[in-house]
């Protein structure tokens, strides 16, 4: 069920009562008991700030902490490649240098092994 005004002109009159104010439109869907209802809510931009203040004022300190961490999440996501590279590059360097060291030492000790085992 979609809740829309019966007459489009009535909707337009509600949307722009005067041309100097801006309107914010929210499209929402609510599902209850396997039934989804859709709707459109409009509000003046001047009433948005008091709404946000009321919503934030009723939150507990723990909820504010979670909200703050959620705000930092995009910044943390952008820094993940740099953090991964800070750990991956040194580990790869250690593995490669160890393998090259094993290969070089085997070449150095190969003549000793050949003469020591009596294969030559």
- For the question of whether the overall pTM of this predicted structure is more than 0.85, the answer is no
Given a cut of 90, whether residue 91 has pLDDT beyond it is yes
Number of Cβ within 10 Å of residue 11's Cβ equals: 13
The rounded radius of gyration (Å) of the Cα atoms in the chain is: 33
Q: How many CA atoms lie within 13 A of 46 on its CB side?
A: 3
Residue 119 has what DSSP assignment? -
Hey, what long-range contacts does 35-44 have (CB within 8 A, 24 or more apart)? 35/1, 37/1, 37/2, 37/3, 38/1, 38/2, 38/3, 39/2, 39/3, 40/3, 40/4, 42/14, 42/15
- pLDDT at residue 20, rounded to an integer: 58
Given a cut of 70, whether residue 61 has pLDDT beyond it is yes
- pLDDT at residue 92, rounded to an integer: 94
Of the candidates 51, 44, 47, the one whose C-alpha atom is nearest the C-alpha of residue 20 is 44
């Amino acid at each position: 069920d979609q809740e829309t005004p019966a007459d489009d002109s009535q909707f337009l009159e509600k949307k722009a009562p005067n041309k100097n104010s801006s309107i914010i439109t929210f499209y929402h869907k609510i599902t209850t008991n396997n039934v989804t209802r859709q709707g459109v809510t409009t509000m003046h931009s001047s009433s948005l700030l008091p709404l946000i203040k009321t919503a934030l004022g009723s939150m507990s300190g723990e909820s504010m902490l979670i909200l703050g961490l959620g705000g930092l999440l995009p910044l943390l996501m952008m820094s993940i490649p740099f953090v991964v590279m800070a750990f991956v590059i040194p580990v790869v360097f250690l593995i490669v240098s160890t393998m090259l060291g094993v290969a070089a030492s085997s070449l150095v000790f190969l003549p000793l092994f050949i003469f020591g085992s009596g294969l030559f």
